[in-house]
A and B are shown apart, each in its own frame.
Chain A
Amino acid sequence: MDEQTIFDELCSCEMCRQAPADKTENPHSRLCRRCREQAIHYPFPWIFLPIALAVLALTVFAYTQMPKDLADYRLYATAETEIEHGMLYDTLSQLEQAAQRHPDSTDLAVRLVTLSMDYGCYDFAAYSMNTYLTGKSLSDTVYGEMIHYQNILNRYYDTLDELQAVSDQLGDDTDPELAAVIFKEKLQDLEKDPDMYQPLIWYYLAQFSEDPEEYKSCLLRCLEGNPMDFTAMSDLGTRLRRDGDLEGARSYYEQVLHYEKTEALACRGMAILSLLNGEKEEALTWAQTAYESNPDAVYVRDTYLVILSENGKTQEAEQIKQEMADAGTPVEEDTQALLNGEITVREYYLEEEAL
Protein backbone atom coordinates (compact mmCIF):
# COMPACT_ATOMS: atom_id res chain seq x y z
CA MET A 1 0.00 0.00 0.00
CA ASP A 2 1.56 3.32 -1.03
CA GLU A 3 1.65 6.45 1.08
CA GLN A 4 -1.16 8.15 -0.88
CA THR A 5 -3.48 5.19 -0.43
CA ILE A 6 -2.78 5.11 3.29
CA PHE A 7 -3.41 8.85 3.48
CA ASP A 8 -6.68 8.52 1.54
CA GLU A 9 -7.77 5.71 3.84
CA LEU A 10 -6.97 7.72 6.95
CA CYS A 11 -8.77 10.79 5.61
CA SER A 12 -11.64 9.00 3.90
CA CYS A 13 -14.44 10.93 5.68
CA GLU A 14 -16.27 12.73 2.89
CA MET A 15 -17.27 15.60 5.16
CA CYS A 16 -14.14 16.60 7.08
CA ARG A 17 -11.38 14.76 5.12
CA GLN A 18 -9.51 14.55 8.40
CA ALA A 19 -10.48 11.13 9.77
CA PRO A 20 -11.15 7.65 8.51
CA ALA A 21 -14.68 6.56 7.68
CA ASP A 22 -16.41 4.79 10.57
CA LYS A 23 -17.84 1.52 9.24
CA THR A 24 -18.98 0.04 12.55
CA GLU A 25 -22.67 0.86 11.94
CA ASN A 26 -22.67 0.69 8.16
CA PRO A 27 -20.02 -1.05 6.02
CA HIS A 28 -20.64 1.50 3.26
CA SER A 29 -20.25 4.52 5.55
CA ARG A 30 -18.27 7.42 4.07
CA LEU A 31 -18.23 9.50 7.28
CA CYS A 32 -15.96 9.50 10.28
CA ARG A 33 -17.43 8.87 13.73
CA ARG A 34 -17.73 12.59 14.60
CA CYS A 35 -19.21 13.63 11.25
CA ARG A 36 -21.48 10.63 11.32
CA GLU A 37 -22.89 11.69 14.71
CA GLN A 38 -23.25 15.22 13.39
CA ALA A 39 -25.16 13.98 10.33
CA ILE A 40 -27.36 11.70 12.40
CA HIS A 41 -28.26 14.77 14.46
CA TYR A 42 -28.88 16.92 11.41
CA PRO A 43 -30.61 19.95 12.97
CA PHE A 44 -34.33 20.60 12.79
CA PRO A 45 -35.00 24.20 11.73
CA TRP A 46 -35.71 26.41 14.77
CA ILE A 47 -38.69 27.99 12.96
CA PHE A 48 -40.56 24.71 13.35
CA LEU A 49 -40.72 25.16 17.13
CA PRO A 50 -42.85 28.35 17.31
CA ILE A 51 -45.02 27.04 14.47
CA ALA A 52 -45.53 23.77 16.33
CA LEU A 53 -46.38 25.66 19.53
CA ALA A 54 -48.90 27.84 17.72
CA VAL A 55 -50.52 24.81 16.10
CA LEU A 56 -50.56 23.03 19.43
CA ALA A 57 -52.30 25.96 21.10
CA LEU A 58 -54.92 26.15 18.34
CA THR A 59 -55.43 22.39 18.43
CA VAL A 60 -55.80 22.27 22.22
CA PHE A 61 -58.38 25.06 22.04
CA ALA A 62 -60.23 23.21 19.26
CA TYR A 63 -60.29 20.05 21.40
CA THR A 64 -61.99 21.97 24.21
CA GLN A 65 -64.85 22.72 21.79
CA MET A 66 -64.96 19.19 20.44
CA PRO A 67 -67.32 17.47 22.92
CA LYS A 68 -70.16 19.87 22.11
CA ASP A 69 -69.52 19.63 18.37
CA LEU A 70 -69.44 15.86 18.59
CA ALA A 71 -72.69 15.74 20.57
CA ASP A 72 -74.30 18.03 18.00
CA TYR A 73 -73.04 15.86 15.16
CA ARG A 74 -74.24 12.70 16.89
CA LEU A 75 -77.67 14.29 17.19
CA TYR A 76 -77.54 15.50 13.57
CA ALA A 77 -76.59 12.03 12.35
CA THR A 78 -79.04 10.07 14.50
CA ALA A 79 -82.01 12.45 14.65
CA GLU A 80 -84.32 10.20 12.64
CA THR A 81 -83.46 7.17 14.77
CA GLU A 82 -84.13 9.17 17.93
CA ILE A 83 -87.49 10.26 16.54
CA GLU A 84 -88.32 6.66 15.64
CA HIS A 85 -87.67 5.90 19.32
CA GLY A 86 -90.37 8.35 20.40
CA MET A 87 -88.17 11.39 21.03
CA LEU A 88 -89.54 13.81 18.43
CA TYR A 89 -89.94 16.94 20.57
CA ASP A 90 -86.71 16.38 22.47
CA THR A 91 -84.76 15.73 19.27
CA LEU A 92 -86.11 18.83 17.51
CA SER A 93 -85.44 20.93 20.59
CA GLN A 94 -81.85 19.69 20.87
CA LEU A 95 -81.32 20.11 17.15
CA GLU A 96 -82.52 23.68 17.47
CA GLN A 97 -79.99 24.26 20.26
CA ALA A 98 -77.31 22.81 17.98
CA ALA A 99 -78.42 25.21 15.23
CA GLN A 100 -78.05 28.04 17.74
CA ARG A 101 -74.49 26.94 18.47
CA HIS A 102 -73.71 26.65 14.75
CA PRO A 103 -75.60 29.56 13.19
CA ASP A 104 -73.51 29.39 10.01
CA SER A 105 -74.31 25.76 9.35
CA THR A 106 -76.86 25.56 6.56
CA ASP A 107 -76.88 21.77 6.77
CA LEU A 108 -78.03 21.80 10.40
CA ALA A 109 -80.74 24.35 9.68
CA VAL A 110 -81.94 22.40 6.64
CA ARG A 111 -82.08 19.21 8.70
CA LEU A 112 -84.03 20.97 11.42
CA VAL A 113 -86.57 22.35 8.94
CA THR A 114 -86.83 19.06 7.04
CA LEU A 115 -87.46 16.98 10.16
CA SER A 116 -89.93 19.51 11.54
CA MET A 117 -91.88 19.40 8.28
CA ASP A 118 -91.67 15.63 7.85
CA TYR A 119 -93.06 15.08 11.34
CA GLY A 120 -95.79 17.70 11.09
CA CYS A 121 -94.31 20.32 13.44
CA TYR A 122 -95.15 23.23 11.17
CA ASP A 123 -94.81 26.03 13.70
CA PHE A 124 -91.36 24.81 14.61
CA ALA A 125 -90.45 24.45 10.93
CA ALA A 126 -91.59 28.00 10.16
CA TYR A 127 -89.66 29.37 13.13
CA SER A 128 -86.52 27.43 12.16
CA MET A 129 -86.76 28.50 8.55
CA ASN A 130 -87.07 32.18 9.49
CA THR A 131 -84.40 32.05 12.17
CA TYR A 132 -81.71 29.85 10.64
CA LEU A 133 -82.19 29.81 6.88
CA THR A 134 -83.02 33.39 5.99
CA GLY A 135 -80.26 34.88 3.83
CA LYS A 136 -78.32 31.62 3.48
CA SER A 137 -77.25 30.36 0.06
CA LEU A 138 -78.52 26.87 -0.77
CA SER A 139 -77.85 24.35 -3.49
CA ASP A 140 -80.51 24.11 -6.21
CA THR A 141 -81.84 20.81 -4.85
CA VAL A 142 -82.08 22.01 -1.25
CA TYR A 143 -83.53 25.33 -2.40
CA GLY A 144 -86.24 23.42 -4.28
CA GLU A 145 -87.06 21.39 -1.17
CA MET A 146 -87.23 24.46 1.03
CA ILE A 147 -89.48 26.26 -1.46
CA HIS A 148 -91.75 23.20 -1.41
CA TYR A 149 -91.91 23.36 2.39
CA GLN A 150 -92.45 27.10 2.30
CA ASN A 151 -95.43 26.62 -0.03
CA ILE A 152 -96.95 24.13 2.40
CA LEU A 153 -96.37 26.52 5.30
CA ASN A 154 -97.84 29.42 3.36
CA ARG A 155 -100.98 27.42 2.63
CA TYR A 156 -101.14 26.29 6.26
CA TYR A 157 -100.86 29.81 7.68
CA ASP A 158 -103.14 31.33 5.01
CA THR A 159 -105.79 28.81 6.05
CA LEU A 160 -105.30 29.63 9.72
CA ASP A 161 -105.56 33.35 8.88
CA GLU A 162 -108.83 32.79 7.01
CA LEU A 163 -110.28 30.92 9.98
CA GLN A 164 -109.01 33.54 12.40
CA ALA A 165 -110.68 36.25 10.29
CA VAL A 166 -114.02 34.43 10.57
CA SER A 167 -113.55 34.04 14.29
CA ASP A 168 -112.74 37.75 14.67
CA GLN A 169 -115.83 38.73 12.67
CA LEU A 170 -118.10 36.60 14.81
CA GLY A 171 -116.94 38.00 18.13
CA ASP A 172 -117.63 36.54 21.56
CA ASP A 173 -121.33 37.30 21.81
CA THR A 174 -122.43 35.35 18.70
CA ASP A 175 -124.81 32.44 19.30
CA PRO A 176 -122.59 29.29 19.34
CA GLU A 177 -124.92 27.38 17.02
CA LEU A 178 -124.94 30.21 14.51
CA ALA A 179 -121.15 30.54 14.83
CA ALA A 180 -120.79 26.82 14.13
CA VAL A 181 -122.94 27.11 10.99
CA ILE A 182 -120.99 30.12 9.69
CA PHE A 183 -117.69 28.41 10.47
CA LYS A 184 -118.72 25.22 8.73
CA GLU A 185 -119.87 27.14 5.64
CA LYS A 186 -116.54 28.95 5.55
CA LEU A 187 -114.68 25.66 5.89
CA GLN A 188 -116.71 24.14 3.06
CA ASP A 189 -115.80 27.14 0.87
CA LEU A 190 -112.14 26.86 1.78
CA GLU A 191 -112.20 23.16 1.04
CA LYS A 192 -112.77 23.99 -2.63
CA ASP A 193 -109.80 26.36 -2.70
CA PRO A 194 -106.61 24.50 -3.76
CA ASP A 195 -104.48 27.25 -2.23
CA MET A 196 -105.73 26.36 1.23
CA TYR A 197 -104.18 23.66 3.43
CA GLN A 198 -106.72 20.87 3.12
CA PRO A 199 -105.72 18.71 6.14
CA LEU A 200 -106.36 21.66 8.46
CA ILE A 201 -109.77 22.28 6.86
CA TRP A 202 -110.69 18.61 7.28
CA TYR A 203 -109.57 18.71 10.88
CA TYR A 204 -111.85 21.68 11.62
CA LEU A 205 -114.69 20.17 9.62
CA ALA A 206 -114.42 17.16 11.94
CA GLN A 207 -114.74 19.46 14.95
CA PHE A 208 -117.98 20.90 13.56
CA SER A 209 -119.52 17.60 12.48
CA GLU A 210 -122.32 16.19 14.60
CA ASP A 211 -122.34 12.68 13.19
CA PRO A 212 -119.60 10.38 14.64
CA GLU A 213 -119.08 8.68 11.27
CA GLU A 214 -118.66 12.02 9.54
CA TYR A 215 -116.30 13.07 12.33
CA LYS A 216 -114.14 9.99 11.74
CA SER A 217 -114.29 10.39 7.98
CA CYS A 218 -113.13 14.03 8.22
CA LEU A 219 -110.25 13.10 10.49
CA LEU A 220 -109.22 10.33 8.11
CA ARG A 221 -109.25 12.85 5.24
CA CYS A 222 -107.09 15.11 7.40
CA LEU A 223 -104.63 12.28 8.01
CA GLU A 224 -104.52 11.45 4.30
CA GLY A 225 -103.12 14.95 3.70
CA ASN A 226 -100.94 15.05 6.79
CA PRO A 227 -100.20 11.60 8.23
CA MET A 228 -98.22 13.23 11.03
CA ASP A 229 -101.07 15.24 12.53
CA PHE A 230 -100.80 13.91 16.07
CA THR A 231 -103.86 15.81 17.28
CA ALA A 232 -106.03 14.30 14.54
CA MET A 233 -104.65 10.83 15.31
CA SER A 234 -105.33 11.24 19.03
CA ASP A 235 -108.83 12.60 18.34
CA LEU A 236 -109.55 9.65 16.10
CA GLY A 237 -108.31 7.30 18.82
CA THR A 238 -110.59 9.01 21.33
CA ARG A 239 -113.55 8.72 18.95
CA LEU A 240 -112.90 4.98 18.52
CA ARG A 241 -112.58 4.57 22.28
CA ARG A 242 -115.95 6.25 22.80
CA ASP A 243 -117.38 3.83 20.25
CA GLY A 244 -116.00 0.94 22.26
CA ASP A 245 -113.26 0.04 19.74
CA LEU A 246 -110.48 0.02 22.31
CA GLU A 247 -107.94 -1.78 20.11
CA GLY A 248 -108.59 0.66 17.25
CA ALA A 249 -108.10 3.53 19.67
CA ARG A 250 -104.89 1.99 20.99
CA SER A 251 -103.44 1.64 17.49
CA TYR A 252 -103.87 5.38 16.82
CA TYR A 253 -102.41 6.36 20.17
CA GLU A 254 -99.49 4.03 19.60
CA GLN A 255 -98.83 5.58 16.20
CA VAL A 256 -98.42 8.94 17.92
CA LEU A 257 -96.37 7.52 20.77
CA HIS A 258 -94.08 5.81 18.29
CA TYR A 259 -92.75 9.26 17.37
CA GLU A 260 -93.35 11.13 20.64
CA LYS A 261 -93.70 9.05 23.74
CA THR A 262 -94.75 12.00 25.89
CA GLU A 263 -97.43 13.41 23.55
CA ALA A 264 -100.09 14.53 26.03
CA LEU A 265 -103.28 13.58 24.15
CA ALA A 266 -102.03 10.14 23.20
CA CYS A 267 -100.74 9.50 26.75
CA ARG A 268 -104.10 10.60 28.14
CA GLY A 269 -105.80 8.19 25.71
CA MET A 270 -103.53 5.34 26.80
CA ALA A 271 -104.23 6.20 30.45
CA ILE A 272 -107.97 5.84 29.86
CA LEU A 273 -107.51 2.56 27.99
CA SER A 274 -105.40 1.20 30.85
CA LEU A 275 -108.02 2.32 33.35
CA LEU A 276 -110.76 0.62 31.35
CA ASN A 277 -108.66 -2.56 31.40
CA GLY A 278 -108.39 -2.31 35.18
CA GLU A 279 -104.66 -1.49 35.09
CA LYS A 280 -104.84 1.46 37.44
CA GLU A 281 -101.12 1.85 38.15
CA GLU A 282 -100.24 1.81 34.47
CA ALA A 283 -103.05 4.29 33.89
CA LEU A 284 -101.52 6.57 36.50
CA THR A 285 -98.11 6.45 34.80
CA TRP A 286 -99.66 7.43 31.46
CA ALA A 287 -101.80 10.17 33.02
CA GLN A 288 -98.81 11.56 34.88
CA THR A 289 -96.73 11.61 31.68
CA ALA A 290 -99.54 13.44 29.88
CA TYR A 291 -99.83 15.95 32.73
CA GLU A 292 -96.07 16.57 32.89
CA SER A 293 -95.87 16.89 29.12
CA ASN A 294 -98.72 19.36 28.64
CA PRO A 295 -101.14 19.93 31.54
CA ASP A 296 -103.15 22.40 29.47
CA ALA A 297 -103.97 19.89 26.70
CA VAL A 298 -107.64 18.98 26.37
CA TYR A 299 -108.93 17.02 29.40
CA VAL A 300 -105.41 16.09 30.55
CA ARG A 301 -106.01 17.50 34.05
CA ASP A 302 -109.47 15.86 34.27
CA THR A 303 -108.05 12.48 33.35
CA TYR A 304 -105.17 12.85 35.79
CA LEU A 305 -107.65 13.81 38.51
CA VAL A 306 -109.88 10.80 37.80
CA ILE A 307 -106.97 8.37 37.73
CA LEU A 308 -105.40 9.79 40.88
CA SER A 309 -108.76 9.25 42.62
CA GLU A 310 -109.05 5.74 41.21
CA ASN A 311 -105.60 4.99 42.67
CA GLY A 312 -106.65 6.36 46.07
CA LYS A 313 -104.33 9.36 45.87
CA THR A 314 -106.86 11.78 47.26
CA GLN A 315 -104.40 14.43 48.37
CA GLU A 316 -102.81 14.73 44.93
CA ALA A 317 -106.28 14.62 43.37
CA GLU A 318 -107.35 17.55 45.53
CA GLN A 319 -104.30 19.51 44.38
CA ILE A 320 -105.23 18.97 40.72
CA LYS A 321 -108.82 19.93 41.49
CA GLN A 322 -107.61 23.16 43.04
CA GLU A 323 -105.31 23.76 40.07
CA MET A 324 -108.27 23.37 37.72
CA ALA A 325 -110.34 25.80 39.76
CA ASP A 326 -107.46 28.30 39.76
CA ALA A 327 -107.16 27.96 35.99
CA GLY A 328 -110.85 28.80 35.60
CA THR A 329 -111.82 25.31 34.40
CA PRO A 330 -113.50 23.70 37.42
CA VAL A 331 -114.40 20.03 37.50
CA GLU A 332 -117.34 19.26 35.19
CA GLU A 333 -120.56 17.74 36.50
CA ASP A 334 -120.15 14.22 35.16
CA THR A 335 -116.50 14.14 36.28
CA GLN A 336 -117.70 15.04 39.76
CA ALA A 337 -120.35 12.31 39.47
CA LEU A 338 -117.58 9.80 38.67
CA LEU A 339 -115.49 11.03 41.59
CA ASN A 340 -118.54 10.68 43.86
CA GLY A 341 -119.06 7.11 42.64
CA GLU A 342 -122.41 7.94 41.04
CA ILE A 343 -121.28 6.59 37.64
CA THR A 344 -118.71 3.97 36.69
CA VAL A 345 -115.51 4.45 34.72
CA ARG A 346 -117.01 2.51 31.78
CA GLU A 347 -120.11 4.69 31.83
CA TYR A 348 -117.93 7.77 32.00
CA TYR A 349 -115.51 6.87 29.20
CA LEU A 350 -117.53 4.63 26.89
CA GLU A 351 -120.79 6.55 26.67
CA GLU A 352 -121.60 8.45 23.51
CA GLU A 353 -121.17 11.71 25.39
CA ALA A 354 -117.99 10.63 27.10
CA LEU A 355 -115.16 13.15 27.35
Chain B
Amino acid sequence: MIIPGLGIIVSIITFPGIAVHELAHQIFCRLLRIPVFKVVYFRIGNPCGYVEHEASEDPLKVFLISTGPFLINTLLGILILTPVAVPILKFREYTNLPNLALAWLGFSILMHAFPSTGDAGNMVRQILKNKNVGIFPKILAAPVIGLIYAGAIGSIFWLDLVYAAAVAMLIPNLLTIL
Protein backbone atom coordinates (compact mmCIF):
# COMPACT_ATOMS: atom_id res chain seq x y z
CA MET B 1 0.00 0.00 0.00
CA ILE B 2 1.24 3.48 -0.82
CA ILE B 3 0.50 5.01 2.60
CA PRO B 4 3.24 3.90 5.04
CA GLY B 5 1.89 1.53 7.67
CA LEU B 6 -1.41 1.10 5.87
CA GLY B 7 -0.45 -2.45 4.87
CA ILE B 8 -0.10 -3.44 8.52
CA ILE B 9 -3.40 -1.78 9.40
CA VAL B 10 -5.16 -3.58 6.54
CA SER B 11 -3.56 -6.84 7.63
CA ILE B 12 -4.80 -6.34 11.19
CA ILE B 13 -8.32 -5.53 9.97
CA THR B 14 -8.36 -8.50 7.63
CA PHE B 15 -6.50 -10.95 9.89
CA PRO B 16 -9.02 -13.79 9.38
CA GLY B 17 -8.04 -13.83 5.72
CA ILE B 18 -4.37 -14.24 6.62
CA ALA B 19 -5.20 -17.09 9.02
CA VAL B 20 -7.25 -18.84 6.32
CA HIS B 21 -4.43 -18.26 3.80
CA GLU B 22 -1.93 -20.01 6.08
CA LEU B 23 -4.46 -22.68 6.93
CA ALA B 24 -4.86 -23.36 3.21
CA HIS B 25 -1.10 -23.88 2.85
CA GLN B 26 -1.23 -26.26 5.80
CA ILE B 27 -4.22 -28.18 4.40
CA PHE B 28 -2.47 -28.65 1.07
CA CYS B 29 0.71 -29.77 2.84
CA ARG B 30 -1.30 -32.39 4.70
CA LEU B 31 -3.16 -33.53 1.58
CA LEU B 32 0.13 -33.83 -0.35
CA ARG B 33 2.02 -35.40 2.59
CA ILE B 34 4.52 -32.59 3.05
CA PRO B 35 5.82 -32.25 6.64
CA VAL B 36 5.07 -28.93 8.30
CA PHE B 37 7.55 -27.55 10.84
CA LYS B 38 5.85 -24.39 11.97
CA VAL B 39 2.69 -22.40 11.25
CA VAL B 40 2.11 -18.78 12.20
CA TYR B 41 -1.50 -17.96 11.41
CA PHE B 42 -1.19 -14.28 12.19
CA ARG B 43 1.26 -11.87 13.69
CA ILE B 44 1.96 -8.18 13.45
CA GLY B 45 5.03 -8.12 11.27
CA ASN B 46 6.31 -9.02 7.88
CA PRO B 47 5.22 -11.57 6.83
CA CYS B 48 1.95 -11.47 8.76
CA GLY B 49 1.74 -15.26 8.62
CA TYR B 50 3.71 -18.14 7.25
CA VAL B 51 4.02 -21.91 7.04
CA GLU B 52 7.44 -23.56 7.28
CA HIS B 53 7.34 -26.85 5.46
CA GLU B 54 9.66 -29.33 3.83
CA ALA B 55 10.82 -28.48 0.34
CA SER B 56 9.58 -30.80 -2.36
CA GLU B 57 11.12 -32.07 -5.56
CA ASP B 58 7.68 -32.57 -7.08
CA PRO B 59 6.76 -29.40 -9.03
CA LEU B 60 3.04 -30.20 -8.89
CA LYS B 61 3.14 -30.35 -5.08
CA VAL B 62 5.07 -27.09 -4.89
CA PHE B 63 2.61 -25.48 -7.28
CA LEU B 64 -0.45 -26.72 -5.37
CA ILE B 65 0.90 -25.74 -1.97
CA SER B 66 1.83 -22.27 -3.21
CA THR B 67 -1.46 -21.59 -5.00
CA GLY B 68 -3.69 -23.51 -2.58
CA PRO B 69 -4.75 -20.35 -0.71
CA PHE B 70 -6.01 -18.86 -3.96
CA LEU B 71 -8.41 -21.80 -4.36
CA ILE B 72 -9.44 -22.17 -0.72
CA ASN B 73 -9.72 -18.46 0.10
CA THR B 74 -11.68 -17.82 -3.08
CA LEU B 75 -14.12 -20.70 -2.53
CA LEU B 76 -14.57 -19.97 1.17
CA GLY B 77 -14.89 -16.23 0.52
CA ILE B 78 -17.57 -16.84 -2.13
CA LEU B 79 -19.39 -19.25 0.16
CA ILE B 80 -19.48 -16.76 3.02
CA LEU B 81 -20.06 -13.58 1.01
CA THR B 82 -22.64 -14.79 -1.50
CA PRO B 83 -25.69 -14.72 0.81
CA VAL B 84 -24.85 -11.26 2.17
CA ALA B 85 -23.53 -9.70 -1.04
CA VAL B 86 -26.92 -8.36 -2.14
CA PRO B 87 -27.99 -6.72 1.14
CA ILE B 88 -24.52 -5.35 1.91
CA LEU B 89 -23.02 -4.50 -1.48
CA LYS B 90 -26.12 -3.72 -3.54
CA PHE B 91 -28.70 -2.49 -1.05
CA ARG B 92 -26.05 -1.06 1.29
CA GLU B 93 -27.82 -2.17 4.45
CA TYR B 94 -25.34 -1.73 7.25
CA THR B 95 -27.53 -2.36 10.27
CA ASN B 96 -27.71 -6.17 10.25
CA LEU B 97 -24.77 -7.19 12.47
CA PRO B 98 -24.57 -10.90 11.53
CA ASN B 99 -24.56 -9.90 7.85
CA LEU B 100 -21.87 -7.31 8.50
CA ALA B 101 -19.78 -9.89 10.34
CA LEU B 102 -20.05 -12.32 7.44
CA ALA B 103 -19.25 -9.58 4.93
CA TRP B 104 -16.13 -8.57 6.88
CA LEU B 105 -15.04 -12.19 7.17
CA GLY B 106 -15.73 -12.93 3.49
CA PHE B 107 -13.96 -9.82 2.30
CA SER B 108 -10.97 -10.49 4.55
CA ILE B 109 -10.68 -14.01 3.21
CA LEU B 110 -11.02 -12.95 -0.43
CA MET B 111 -8.51 -10.13 -0.02
CA HIS B 112 -5.88 -12.67 1.01
CA ALA B 113 -6.62 -15.14 -1.77
CA PHE B 114 -3.68 -14.05 -3.88
CA PRO B 115 -0.50 -16.06 -3.20
CA SER B 116 2.18 -13.89 -1.60
CA THR B 117 5.53 -12.98 -3.10
CA GLY B 118 6.94 -15.48 -0.60
CA ASP B 119 4.83 -18.17 -2.24
CA ALA B 120 6.07 -17.03 -5.64
CA GLY B 121 9.64 -17.15 -4.31
CA ASN B 122 9.12 -20.77 -3.27
CA MET B 123 7.91 -21.62 -6.76
CA VAL B 124 10.92 -19.86 -8.31
CA ARG B 125 13.36 -21.80 -6.08
CA GLN B 126 11.68 -25.17 -6.19
CA ILE B 127 10.43 -25.19 -9.79
CA LEU B 128 12.17 -22.63 -12.02
CA LYS B 129 15.64 -22.94 -10.49
CA ASN B 130 15.43 -26.65 -9.75
CA LYS B 131 17.61 -28.56 -12.22
CA ASN B 132 15.67 -31.76 -11.56
CA VAL B 133 12.42 -30.24 -12.83
CA GLY B 134 11.70 -30.61 -16.55
CA ILE B 135 11.12 -27.75 -18.95
CA PHE B 136 7.39 -28.42 -19.34
CA PRO B 137 6.45 -27.77 -15.66
CA LYS B 138 8.69 -24.71 -15.75
CA ILE B 139 6.84 -23.33 -18.80
CA LEU B 140 3.51 -23.94 -17.07
CA ALA B 141 4.59 -22.43 -13.76
CA ALA B 142 6.31 -19.33 -15.15
CA PRO B 143 3.16 -17.37 -16.14
CA VAL B 144 1.52 -18.22 -12.82
CA ILE B 145 4.56 -16.90 -10.97
CA GLY B 146 4.38 -13.78 -13.15
CA LEU B 147 0.72 -13.37 -12.25
CA ILE B 148 1.48 -13.72 -8.57
CA TYR B 149 4.08 -10.94 -8.77
CA ALA B 150 1.65 -8.84 -10.83
CA GLY B 151 -0.98 -9.41 -8.15
CA ALA B 152 1.49 -8.30 -5.48
CA ILE B 153 2.13 -5.08 -7.42
CA GLY B 154 -1.63 -4.72 -8.03
CA SER B 155 -2.33 -4.92 -4.31
CA ILE B 156 -0.66 -1.49 -4.06
CA PHE B 157 -3.63 -0.28 -6.08
CA TRP B 158 -6.13 -2.29 -4.02
CA LEU B 159 -6.37 -5.07 -6.60
CA ASP B 160 -7.05 -7.50 -3.77
CA LEU B 161 -10.05 -5.41 -2.70
CA VAL B 162 -11.29 -5.13 -6.30
CA TYR B 163 -10.92 -8.88 -6.66
CA ALA B 164 -12.89 -9.42 -3.45
CA ALA B 165 -15.72 -7.13 -4.58
CA ALA B 166 -15.90 -8.69 -8.04
CA VAL B 167 -15.91 -12.25 -6.73
CA ALA B 168 -18.45 -11.37 -4.03
CA MET B 169 -21.05 -10.36 -6.61
CA LEU B 170 -20.18 -13.16 -9.03
CA ILE B 171 -22.84 -15.65 -7.93
CA PRO B 172 -25.65 -13.09 -7.28
CA ASN B 173 -24.99 -11.54 -10.70
CA LEU B 174 -24.98 -14.93 -12.41
CA LEU B 175 -28.18 -15.95 -10.66
CA THR B 176 -29.80 -12.66 -11.64
CA ILE B 177 -28.91 -13.14 -15.29
CA LEU B 178 -30.19 -16.74 -15.38
Q: Which of B16-51 contact A (CB under 8 A)?
A: 23, 26, 29-30, 33-37, 39, 41
Encode contact with B along A34-55: 1 for CB under 8 Å, 0 otherwise: 0110011110110010000001
B57 and A104 contact, CB distance less than 8 A: no
Measured in the bound complex, the distance between the Cα atoms of B85 and A65 in whole Å is 12
Q: Does A231 contact B (CB under 8 A)?
A: no
Q: Does A77 contact B (CB under 8 A)?
A: yes
Closest-CB distance, B82 to chain A (whole angstroms): 7
Question: Among the listed stretches B92-100, B111-119, B145-153, B160-168, which one makes contact with chain A, having 4 or more residues with CB under 8 Å of it?
Answer: B92-100
Measured in the bound complex, the distance between the Cα atoms of B30 and A40 in whole Å is 5
Q: Which of B121-170 contact A (CB under 8 A)?
A: none
* A-B pairs with beta carbons under 8 A, tally: 97
A104 and B86 contact, CB distance less than 8 A: no
Q: Which residues of B contact A29 (CB under 8 A)?
A: 35, 54
A73 and B172 contact, CB distance less than 8 A: yes
Closest-CB distance, A24 to chain B (whole angstroms): 11
Q: Which of A21-74 contact B (CB under 8 A)?
A: 25-31, 35-36, 39-42, 44-45, 48, 55, 58-59, 61-63, 65-66, 69-70, 72-74
Q: Which residues of A contact B39 (CB under 8 A)?
A: 42
Most B CB within 10 A of own CB, among A27, A45, A105:
A105
A40 and B92 contact, CB distance less than 8 A: no
Q: Which residues of B contact A258 (CB under 8 A)?
A: none
Q: Does B1 contact A (CB under 8 A)?
A: no
Q: Which residues of B contact A105 (CB under 8 A)?
A: 87, 91-93
B172 and A70 contact, CB distance less than 8 A: yes
User: Given A27-B57, A44-B23, do A59 and B83 touch, yes or no (CB 8 Å)?
Assistant: yes
A-B residue pairs, 5 tightest by C-beta: A39-B35, A62-B83, A105-B91, A42-B36, A69-B86
